[in-house]
Chains A and B, each alone.
Chain A
Amino acid sequence: MQALPSLDARLAALREEVRAIECAGRAAGRLSLPFGLEAVDRRLADAGLAVAALHEAAPATPALGDDAAAALFLAAVAARLATAQGEGTVLWALARRDLFAPGLAQAGLTPERLIYAECRNDEEVLAVMEEGLRHGGLAAVVGEVGNVRLAAARRLQLAAEEKGTTALMLRRWRRAGADPLGSPSPAVTRWRIGCAPSQTLAVPGVGRPRWQVELARQRGGESHIWILEAPDAEARLALFSLSADREDQAVGAERRAA
C-alpha cells in the first residue's frame, strides 16, 4: 500500500483546489503585492494584497484620527502599487474635501501620482471608481464611501478583476452606531484600522505613529490583528517589535474563522 501523502501536502493540494474554484477561469496564482513584513504576508492568503481585486478598509471607531489612519493605510498601499507599475497613477474619488495632500505625500503618495475626482455623493463616487477601473491603465483606484450596496461592490470587484487594477475602498462612518464593515461585501480583504499609542520617547516628542491593523475578513484565510508602524516616505509599513529577535510579534488573539 502506498504511503498516504503527508498532511501538509494534502492540505496544500486542497487549498489549491479551493483557490482554483474561487478564481474560476483565470490563471492560477493571483498577482499580489506583499507588505514586505513576514508576519503580515504569512497570514494573507495570497502572500500579499491581491492586485486585481477589491479591498476595503474602515476606521475602527468613528473618531477622525482612525479615519485619517485608514486613509493613510490605503494611500501607502496605493503608492506601492503605483511604484510597482512604474510611473503609475492613482485616482482618488472623494465626496468630502477634508483630505490634505501634504499628509498623503508623507505616506508615500506624492502629488504627481495622484488625481482627485470630487464627487457629489456616494453613487457618483462608485460610478467614478468603476470608470477608473474599466480604463485599465491606472495603478489603483481609491474611493471614500459610506454605505455600499452589495451589487455595487460586486460590480467594482468584477471590473477590478477584468482589467487588473486594484480597487481600494475607504468605508467611512456615517452614523456613530453603524459599523461600516457590518454589511457583507465581495471584497477580498477587509481591514479595520485604529490608532495605537506610539513608543514613549526619552526626549520630548512624538514617535513614529502606530496603528492597530486588524484583518477583519479575508477570502481564503483567517483574520488577524497586528500593531504596525505608520508608513514612511517610501510607503513601507513597519512591524512594532519589542525586540528584534522574536519572529511572531502579533499582539492580540488569532481568531479562527468559522
Chain B
Amino acid sequence: MRGTANLIMVEGQTAPEAPPPRSAVPLPIAFGDREDKEGSRLSHPSPHAPGFRPGARWARDEEIRSLAPLAAAQTPLVTAHRSGQRVTLAALSPEARSLGLVPGMALTQARMLVPGLDVRDADADRDAAFLARLGLFAARRWTPRAAVSGPDGLWLDLGGVTHLFGGERRMCERILGFCARLGFAGRIAVAGTLGAAHALVRFGGGAILSCPEGGEAEALAPLPLAALRLDEAPLAAARRLGLERIDELAAMPRGPLQRRFGPDLLARLDQALGRAGEPFDPIVPSDPPSVLLRFVEPIATAEAIAEAMAEALRRLVRLLEEAGLAVRGLDFVCERIDGAALAVRIGTARATRDPLHLLRLLSPKIETIEPGFGIERVRLVAWRVEPLGPQPFAGILAGEPAAADLVPLIDRLVGRLGVRRLYRMSAVESDVPERSVRRIAPLDRPAGWPSWPRPARLLSPPERIGDVLALLPDQPPRRFTWRGRSYRVRQADGPERIHGEWWKRSAEAETVRDYFQVEDETGHRFWLFRRGDGEDPRTGDLSWYLHGVFG
C-alpha cells in the first residue's frame, strides 16, 4: 500500500522565526516558541460547525488565559506528568532542551539542574482529544482514511489523493505548513507500510521524509529497535543480546527469535517491512442524520408543509433505526425561493424515535413558518442524537400494567408553554414561607415540607392590615381590617415564631415574625403575622400583615 504518511507533532524543534502572517485570529501567544503541546489548546473548527469560514483556521480557545504571554527565548517551559509516585517531564520547550533536559527525566532532577523552571501539568486527555479533532479534520480535508497514531501523531492514507494537492511532496509541505500555523512543528514521513512510516517519522531525520517504493528495508536499516513499537520487555531483552538496529534484527534467523521473544517482535518487523498486513482503523467523521426533500414546485400552504414534515420524519426515523440512534433535538429547516431559511427547533426530555410523538411536537410550530413566495427545499436535521438505550421491562413481564409514561406529555406541554412554565414545587430548607418553595424540572423528584399548618393560598407580597387589636406580646388579634372589611376573630392559634435569615440579608438579622392562624365568625381562616415579638423593638415594628388564607 503505497503512500501512508505519518505525521507527528514534534517537540523541541524550532518553527520558522518569522511566522507566516496568515492566521486569521490574533493570538496572545508568540508564534516562535510553542513547541509543547500545551501551547495549542486551540479548538478546531469543522466545516459543518456554525460560523465556519473556509479561510479561518481558528475557533475559540478557552485556556488562553492559562498561558501568560511567553516572552520568546526566556523562561524554559516544561510540562510534567505524574505516574504513581514519580513526576517526570513530558514535554520541553527548546530552551529547556538546550539546557540539557530530556523527556522522561524526573522533575526533581530537572529542577536541580535548571533553577528557574516553569512547570505546567501535562494533560494527556486534552492532548488526545485535540489529536482526535485534528484527525477528524484530516479525514474531512486531506484524505478519507486517517487514524490516530500514538499520543502525538496521525496516520494518513495518501493513496489516490496526492494529485489533488499538487503531488506528494507538495501535499506534505502543505500539511506541515498547516501545522505550523496551528503552532506545531511537525514531521511527516511517507512510506509503503504503517510500521515503516511510524519508524521513519520518529527516528529518521528531517522534516519531510519519503521512502521509495519497496525500499523500506534499506530505509529502516539504521533505525533503532524502539522504532518498531515494541514493549519494554522484548526491547530490553534484545538490547541484552546486543541487538541495536533493525537491520541486525532482520538479519537474524527467525526461528530462534520467535522462540526467544515470542511472536510480537517478528510480527512488528514483518509489518514494518511489508511482509505482513496491519489493520488500519480510520476515523469516520459522522454527520448528524438528516433528510433533504426537494419540491418540483414551491409549496406555501400549511397542509403541504405538514405533509412534507411527515414524509421527512418517516425517512429520518428509518435512518435512525438503521443507525440505532434516537433523537433528542430536531431542526426543521425550510428554505424559501428567496434564499431565506426558516428553522423550527424542538427538543425532547428523553431520546425518542417515535414518529407520532415527534410529529405532535413539530406540528404546532408550523404556524410560525412564513412561507413567503414559496418553500423549495425542506431539511430535517437531528442535531442531537443519542444511542437508543434499553428500557426497563421487568414489570411488564411479571404482568403488572405499564406505568404511564409522562415524558411525551411533558414534551408537548413544554412545546406549548415553554420550558419554564411546567414545573414541580419542591421544598427549600427555610422557615420563611415565601422562601420555602422552589420550582424544579417536572422529571425531578421533589422534597416535602414539614407538617406545620400552612395556608392554601399565599398572598405575595403580604398585605398590610389595620385596626388590629391584640394584646402584646403573644396574644392573637381580636379584630382586624383587611381590604376594607372588618373581621372579628372568634378563635386563634399561635404564635409561630419565624426568625429572619441573617445569612440571606443582614437586615433580617434580628427580625422575627409571629404568625397567627385566626378564624372569624363566619369560618374564614387567615394567616396573619406581626413583625416583632412585642418586647424588643429591634425585632420588628409591630405592624400586622395578612400572608395567606386557609381553606
Interface residues of A (CB under 8 A from B): 63-73, 75, 86-89, 91, 97-107, 110-112, 114-119, 124, 127-128, 131-132, 135-138, 194-198, 200-201, 204-207, 209-211, 230, 233
Find chain A residues with CB under 8 A from B451 CB.
Answer: 106, 233
Main secondary structure of the interface of B (DSSP, over half): mixed
Nearest Cβ distance between residue A121 and chain B, in whole angstroms? 12
Instruction: Determine if B524 is an interface residue (Cβ-Cβ < 8 Å).
Output: yes
In the complex, are the beta carbons of B456 and A131 less than 8 A apart? Answer: no
CB pair B423 A116 closer than 8 Å: yes
By the criterion CB–CB under 8 Å, are B416 and A197 in contact?
A: no
On whether the beta carbons of B437 and A64 are closer than 8 Å, the reply is no
Interface residues of B (CB under 8 A from A): 403-406, 408-410, 412-413, 416-417, 421-427, 433, 436-437, 439, 442, 445-449, 451-460, 490-493, 517-519, 521-526, 548-551
Contact between A71 and B551 (Cβ–Cβ < 8 Å)?
Answer: yes
- A91→B447 CA distance, assembly (Å): 18
B548/A100 in contact, CB under 8 A: yes
In the complex the two chains form, what is the Cα distance from A71 to B442 in whole Å?
A: 21
B523 and A119 within 8 A (CB): no
Is B459's CB under 8 angstroms from A65's CB? no
- Shortest distance between the CB of A1 and any CB in chain B (Å): 53
Which B residues touch A69, using CB under 8 A?
A: 456, 551
- Name the CB-closest residue of A to B434: A100
* Of A63, A98, A131, the contact of B416 (CB 8 Å cutoff): A131
Q: What residues of chain B lie closer than 8 Å to A88, measured between beta carbons?
A: 404
Decide if B523 touches A206 in the complex (CB within 8 Å): no
A197:B447 contact, CB within 8 angstroms: no
Q: Which of B445, B491, B524 contacts A201 (CB 8 A)?
A: B491
Question: Knowing A65-B550, A100-B456, A107-B456 touch, does A206 contact B417 (C-beta < 8 A)?
Answer: no
Contacts of A73 in B (CB 8 A): 551
Question: Can you add 16 more A-B contacts, CB < 8 Å, to A98-B457, A197-B490?
Answer: A65-B525, A70-B551, A72-B456, A100-B454, A102-B452, A103-B455, A104-B456, A106-B451, A117-B421, A117-B422, A200-B490, A204-B491, A204-B492, A205-B491, A205-B492, A206-B519
Which one of B426, B460, B524, B551 has the greatest number of beta carbons of chain A within 10 Å?
B551
8 contacts between A and B (CB under 8 A): A103-B458, A103-B550, A107-B551, A111-B425, A112-B424, A195-B524, A209-B551, A230-B551
The closest CB in chain A to the CB of B447 belongs to A111
Identity of the chain A residue whose Cβ is nearest the Cβ of B546 in the assembled complex: A64
Q: How far is the CB of A39 from chain B (nearest CB, A)?
A: 20
Known contacts A115-B423, A128-B413, A206 near B456 by CB under 8 Å: no
Q: Are B457 and A206 touching (Cβ within 8 A)? A: no
Complex contacts, A68 vs chain B, CB 8 Å:
455-457, 549-551
Q: Are B523 and A101 in contact (CB under 8 A)?
A: no
Tell me if B519 and A115 are in contact (CB < 8 A): no
Shortest distance between the CB of B425 and any CB in chain A (Å): 4
Residues of chain A within 8 A (CB-CB) of B405 are 137
A115 touches which one: B404, B442, B452 (CB < 8 A)? Answer: B442
Q: Shortest Cβ distance from B505 into chain A, in angstroms?
A: 22
B455 near A115 (CB under 8 angstroms)? no
Residue of B nearest to A72 (CB): B551
Partner of B522, one of A71, A128, A132, A197: A197
Q: Total number of A-B contacts with CB less than 8 angstroms?
A: 180
A98 and B458 within 8 A (CB): yes
Asked if A197 contacts B523 (CB within 8 A), the reply is yes
Known: A195-B523, A201-B491. Is A209-B550 also a contact (CB below 8 A)?
Answer: yes
CB pair A99–B522 under 8 Å, yes or no, is no
User: Quick one: which of A66, A128, A197, A206 contacts B517, CB cutoff 8 A?
Assistant: A206
Interface centre among B427, B447, B519, B548 (most CB of A within 10 A): B519
Which of B423, B433, B523 sits near A196, CB closer than 8 Å?
A: B523
User: Knowing A137-B409, A195-B524, A209-B550 touch, does A115 contact B421 (C-beta < 8 A)?
Assistant: no
Cα distance A207–B523 in the bound complex, in angstroms: 11
Complex Cα–Cα for A91 and B521 (A) = 35
Known A98-B457, A119-B421, A205-B493; contact A89-B523, beta-carbon cutoff 8 A: no
Q: Is the CB of A102 within 8 A of B491?
A: no
Known contacts A116-B423, A206-B517: A110-B448 contact under CB 8 Å = yes
B433 CB to nearest chain A CB (Å):
8
Which of B425, B426, B452: most chain A Cβ within 10 A?
B425
Query: When the two chains form the complex, which single residue of B403, B442, B523 contacts A210, counting CB atoms closer than 8 Å?
Result: B523
| Cβ-closest chain A residue relative to B458 | A100
Question: Please, how many angstroms separate the alpha-carbon atoms of A71 and B490 in the complex?
Answer: 24
Contact between B423 and A99 (Cβ–Cβ < 8 Å)?
A: no
Report chain A residues within 8 Å CB of B446.
Answer: 111-112
Q: How far is the CA of A100 from the CA of B410 in the complex (A)?
A: 22
Shortest Cβ distance from residue A125 to the other chain B in the assembled complex, whole angstroms: 11
- With most chain B CB atoms within 10 A of its CB, the pick from A91, A131, A197, A206 is A206
A98 touches B524 (CB 8 A): no
In the assembly, what is the distance between CA of A86 and CA of B493, in Å?
36
State how many angstroms separate the Cβ of A202 from the closest Cβ of chain B.
11
In the complex, are the beta carbons of A118 and B456 less than 8 A apart?
no
Question: Which residue of B is nearest A76, CB measured?
Answer: B551
Partner of A195, one of B408, B460, B525: B525
With most chain B CB atoms within 10 A of its CB, the pick from A86, A103, A110, A136 is A103
Shortest distance between the CB of B532 and any CB in chain A (Å) = 21
Task: Please determine whether A102 and B416 come into contact, CB atoms closer than 8 angstroms.
Answer: no
Q: Complex Cα distance A200/B549, Å?
A: 20
- In the complex, what residues of A have CB within 8 A of residue B524's CB? 63, 65-66, 195
Contact B454 A117 (CB under 8 A): no
Taking A98-B458, A106-B454, A206-B492 as contacts, is the C-beta distance between A116 and B551 under 8 angstroms? no
Given contacts A65-B524, A68-B550, A98-B460, contact A116 B422 (CB under 8 A): yes
Whether A138 pairs with B409 at a CB distance below 8 angstroms is: yes
Residue pair B551, A206 in contact (C-beta under 8 Å): no
* CA A198 to CA B493, docked complex, whole Å: 13
A114-B493 in contact given A71-B457, A106-B453, A137-B406 (Cβ < 8 Å): no
Q: Which residues of B contact A211 (CB under 8 A)?
A: 551
Do the beta carbons of A102 and B457 come within 8 Å of each other?
no
Task: Give the shortest distance, in Å, between A63 (CB) and chain B (any CB).
Answer: 6
Instruction: Please indicate the chain B residues that have their CB under 8 angstroms from the CB of A87 in the complex.
Output: 403
How far apart sit A137 and B406, CA to CA, in the bound complex (Å)? Answer: 7
Q: Which residues of A contact B550 (CB under 8 A)?
A: 65, 68, 103, 209
A200 x B436 contact (CB < 8 A): no
Minimum CB–CB distance from A151 to chain B (whole Å) comes to 20
- Contact (Cβ within 8 A) B437 A100: yes
Please, which residue of chain A has its CB at the minimum distance from the CB of B524?
Answer: A65
B110 vs chain A, min Cβ distance (A): 59
Give every chain B residue within 8 A of A201 (Cβ-Cβ): 491
Q: Does the CB pair A100–B455 fall under 8 Å?
A: yes
A103 in contact with B413 given A68-B455, A195-B523 (CB within 8 Å) = no
Provide the bound-state CA to CA distance between A211 and B524, in Å: 10
Q: Which of A66, A72, A117, A132: most chain B CB closer than 10 A?
A: A117
